[in-house]
Structure 1
Amino acid sequence: MFFFIGCGGWFGQVAALHVSLTEYVLVFNTVQETRGFSGRYWLNITDFVIDGWLEQWRERSFEVENFTAGVTVHHPWGSAAGVRFGAGSWFLEYGRGFVPSSMFFASADTFFSTHDFVSWFSMMHAFGAGLAHEAYLFVEESIANLQDAR
C-alpha cells in the first residue's frame, strides 16, 4: 500500500515491501518534481532508478550528479546530499544498517509540518508490522533450535 511521505523538503509516495531492524526494501514514486535534503543515516542505501531521474549534490562537492533510468545510486552510511527527483520518477530502494536511525527523519515532516497523521500512521504501521514479523520469525527459529537441542 502506498502512502505519502515528506522528508527534508521533498515529497512522494512510498510502499514498504520489507522492513526489519537492519534492512528495508521500498518502492518510491513522485508524480511531481520535488527537491530537498537526503537525510543522514546509519545505513547504506542503494536506489535503483526504474523510470525518470534523480539529481544529487553531495556534501563537499560543487557539482550535480545526474542519474537516469537503469542506473544504481549508492548513498554511503553517514553521507548527505541535496536531491531532486524528476516528475514521474520511480525508484526501488534498499537500505541496510540500523533502520530506526532513519525513522525520525522519514516521519518528521509528515508529523510536525504537514500534520498528516493518516500517512504518519501508515508509515509507523509498515515499520511496526515489519518488526513484528521479524520478532515472530526469531521466536519461531529459537523454539525450533531448542527442540533440536533436545
Structure 2
Amino acid sequence: MAKAKPAQQSSFGKWAVIGAVLVALYALCSYLDANVDKFFAMTPDALNAAVQTSLTTARMAGQEKNSTYVVDTLLGNLVKTYPDLDLQTHFRNKDEWVFNNAGGAMGSMFIIHASITEYLIIFGSAVGTEGHTGRHTADDYFHILTGQQRCYAAGDLSPLIYNPGDVNLMERGVVRQYMMEGETWALEYAAGWIPPMLPFGLADMMSSTLDYVSFYHTCRITAREMIKNLLRGKI
C-alpha cells in the first residue's frame, strides 16, 4: 500500500493543475465577455445615422427602391463615418459576394468588416428567403435598406414587420423565424463574439447544399478581414 501513495499523489496533483487551469480559463473568459464592448470600433447609433442619411439621399433622388444606388450611397457614408477603419467598399466586384445558406435560408452577402468582436455586412436576397435566425453570441442589428423583413418568436401569433429605415435588434441568445420579401437588402451589424457564430453560417454549405466554392470564398474573405484587423490591433 505504501508504494501506491506516490502514484495517488501524482494523480491528485495532475487533476489539481487541470482544475486550476480550467478555473483560470473560465475567469479569463468571464472577464473578456463582461468587457467585450471595449473592443468595438462601431456603434449602432452611428451606423443607423449612416443608413438614415443614405435612405434620405436615395428618396430625394427618386432611387429609394434602387438597391444598388442605396448600397453604393451607404458605403460612401460608412467610409465618412469610420475613416480609420479599412472598410471593404468594392461591392460591384462579384468576387467579393458569396452565397450564404444558414438555418434553411439562402441569401448573399458582401463583407464590409470582419473582426473577432464585430462584423458588418450587406445581406439579403433578390428573390426572397426565409429560415431560422440562429441563437448567437452577439447582438445583431439588422438595418433594412430595401424591401421588408418579417419575423416572430415561438409563441407569437403575429409577426414583427420591418421596412426600410427600421432596425431589427436580435439580442444575443434570442431566436426567431424570419422571412424577407423579394429584393430585400439590409446592413447587418453583429457586436459580440463572432467566431462562435461561424459554424451556423457554414454548416449548411457542408451538410446540405455541398456548395464548397461558396464555403471556400466565405472562409477566405472572413479570414482575410479578421487577420487584417488583428494586425491593425483590432480584436
TM-based fold match above 0.5: yes
- Structure 1 runs not aligned, ≥5 long: 140-150
Cα distance in 2 between the residues matched to 1:100 and 1:86: 29
Secondary structure at 2:150 match in 1:
strand
| Counterpart position of 1:98 | 193
Correspondences of 1:3-22 after superposition (within 5 Å): 3-22=98-117
- Name the larger-Rg structure: 2
| Counterpart position of 1:120 | 215
Q: Confirm or deny that 1:57 pairs with 2:137.
A: no
**Higher relative strand content:** 1
| Superposition deviation, residue 60 in structure 1 | 4.0
Q: Which has the higher contact order (CA 8 A, sep 6+)?
A: 1
**Higher relative helix content:** 2
Identity %: 22
Runs of 4+ in 1 over 4 A off after TM superposition: none
Cα distance in 2 between the residues matched to 1:38 and 1:135: 28
The one of 107, 122, 125 aligned to 1:30: 125
1:104-146, CA deviations, whole angstroms, 9 ceiling, x for partnerless residues? 000111121111011011111121012211221129xxxxxxx
| Counterpart position of 2:226 | 131
Secondary structure at 1:40 match in 2:
coil
Secondary structure at 2:233 match in 1:
helix
| Counterpart position of 1:107 | 202
Number of aligned residue pairs: 139
Amino acid at match of 1:74: L
- Structure 2 runs not aligned, ≥5 long: 1-95
Q: Confirm or deny that 1:77 pairs with 2:172.
A: yes
Instruction: Give TM-score scaled by structure 1 length.
Output: 0.88
| Superposition deviation, residue 39 in structure 1 | 0.4
Cα distance in 2 between the residues matched to 1:67 and 1:134: 32
Instruction: Give TM-score scaled by structure 2 length.
Output: 0.57
